[in-house]
Amino acid sequence: MERTLVILKPCTIQRGLVGEIISRFEKKGLRLVGMKMMQLSDELLSEHYAHLKEKSFFQRVKDSMMTAPVIVTCWEGVGAVEVVRTMTGVTNGRNAQPGTIRGDFSVSFQENIIHTSDSLETAKIELNRFFKEDEYFEYRPAAFDYLYACDEY
């Protein structure tokens, strides 16, 4: 099973879309194993978005992510990173396909609802940045046997 990070951005909280977004991942069959609300700091965002440091929009991204709290989640499932990325859609909400989270709820490059890890390696780094080991919860959903074939997990 893979784990991946999903951050529900301030625009998601401000627009009252938290339940809708979480519900989509649950309905897909992913397992929520960690969740918390937090106010992100400039320092944490500088680390998290270090790969954008040279981009002209770097400060705008950080400023946007500090306008309200975020909800940081960890989702688990077979191929979770790819599943979440597919469900999320492309970064620019104007170009995201209808049916994806960004395609249904975003018309912006910046205010695009959600941050997701882009690879398994990145997911591990990002999850360690936002969660302590004791903030994950292990449980077996009652519907688990109906989500995967016995040789898939």
Q: What is the pLDDT of residues 9-62, one digit of tens each?
A: 999 999 999 999 999 999 999 999 999 999 999 999 999 999 999 999 999 999
Residue 41 in contact with residue 115, Cβ under 8 Å?
A: no
Name the 3-class secondary structure at 7: strand
Nearest one of 47, 38, 28 to 88, comparing CA atoms = 28
* DSSP symbol at 16: T
Band of residue 139 on the pLDDT scale cut at 50, 70, 90: very high
Band of residue 153 on the pLDDT scale cut at 50, 70, 90: confident
Alpha-carbon distances, residue 113 vs 13, 93, 96, 110 (angstroms):
9, 9, 12, 8
Examine the pLDDT at 110 and tell me if it is beyond 90: no
Between CA 65 and CA 17 the distance in angstroms is: 16
Domain ranges of the chain: 18-135
The pLDDT of 126-143, averaged and rounded, is 96
115 is catalytic: yes
The share of the chain scoring above pLDDT 70, in percent, equals 100
Please provide the average confidence, as pLDDT, over all residues in the chain.
96
The pLDDT of 94-99, averaged and rounded, is 98
Output the pLDDT for position 93. 96
Examine the pLDDT at 150 and tell me if it is beyond 90: no
Residue 92 in contact with residue 112, Cβ under 8 Å?
A: yes
**Helix, strand, coil percent values for the chain (each to nearest 5):** 40, 20, 40
Strand pairing report for 70-77 and 31-38: antiparallel
Reported CATH class of domain 18-135 = alpha beta
Q: Single out the catalytic residue among 115, 116, 117, 130.
A: 115
Output the pLDDT for position 57. 92
Output the pLDDT for position 105. 98
Nearest one of 15, 16, 35 to 25, comparing CA atoms = 35
